[in-house]
Structure 1
């Protein structure tokens, strides 16, 4: 993790704890000619625009007070929710969304498919179990080592 991200994380976490929010991720990236500091936050029930504004104002103020400046170049600060279809990156993320509808992409075909959507009913060290896959009343066990990406999905 970059030094900027580590420094910002130290500033952000106490602010989030004060408001009962949690940190989902931080990015400091250059896109074309501009730098972006993106802070993704969440809370049970979801983040509002007002929550993002509150955190943005407080983080901006704290970063501006720091000497030396932890980010000497110009950058845009963006505080937002990780989104309705956020990536499920680790065990905690998966366990937090048990019972939710998710999208899973695989490295190779399983039962003739590389993509599955369904209700996450079980998470263990070897597999994820999805129920109601693709609208059918079926259950599938997906080996964890075959999963390329898992994310929340919106059920239509």
Structure 2
């Protein structure tokens, strides 16, 4: 079964469990590392998740996955927080991150760069506006939505 299909099925199985606990689905990954497959489910809530949240979701999701059995190979299930460098995938993620320091990677270079870090000033249908520092000078960069390969919160040093 294609990885994308597994991710879609796991998302559908996970959402009702998270809604019951007032948690948010951040991301689902299904990938092979070394000789083993890993199914990772990242969850969050305002103020962050704790080990009890992860444990509850893991137990309930594991039972649900056993019932439906959508993955033909053996795998390890991991349920965790997305961490301090939470990925930004959905428009709501970007909107919530306005005012935060972010890292954005692009498919193609923009002004000779494929990655930008700075404060996310705004986000909308036409793209993201970042304030970045270049050689000590602050400047604004507009990044079209369809140019974004990946984005995440970042820690400013």
TM-score, normalised to structure 2's length? 0.78
Whole-angstrom distance in 2 between the partners of 1:142 and 1:150 = 14
In structure 1, the residue matched to 2:10 is: 8
Q: Which residue of 1 aligns with 2:84?
A: 84
Q: In the superposition, relative to structure 1, how do residues 118 and 56 fare at CA in structure 2: closer, same or farther (>3 Å)? A: same
Tell me the alpha carbon deviations over residues 90-145 of structure 1, each in whole angstroms, 9 at most, x when there is no partner.
422211211111123343252x6554322111113334222363695724132315
* Separation in 2, partners of 1:124, 1:15: 30
What is the CA-CA distance between 1:79 and the residue it aligns to?
0.7
Aligned position for 1:154: 155
Separation in 1, partners of 2:8, 2:72: 15
Mapping for residues 135-146 of structure 1, pairs under 5 Å: 138-144=138-144, 146=147
Query: Aligned in 2, Cα 1:45/1:8: closer, same or farther, shift over 3 Å?
Result: same
Q: Alignment length, in residue pairs? A: 152
Q: TM-score of the superposition, structure 1-length normalised?
A: 0.79
Q: Considering only aligned residues, what root-mean-square deviation do their CA atoms show, in Å?
A: 2.6
Q: Unaligned 5+ residue runs, structure 1?
A: none
Alpha-carbon spacing, 1:32–1:129, altered in 2? closer, same or farther (3 Å): same
Q: Distance in 2 between matches of 1:148 and 1:73?
A: 29
Structure whose alpha-carbon radius of gyration is higher: 1
Evaluate the alpha carbon distance shift between residue 33 and residue 121 of structure 1 in structure 2; reply closer, same or farther with a 3 A threshold.
same
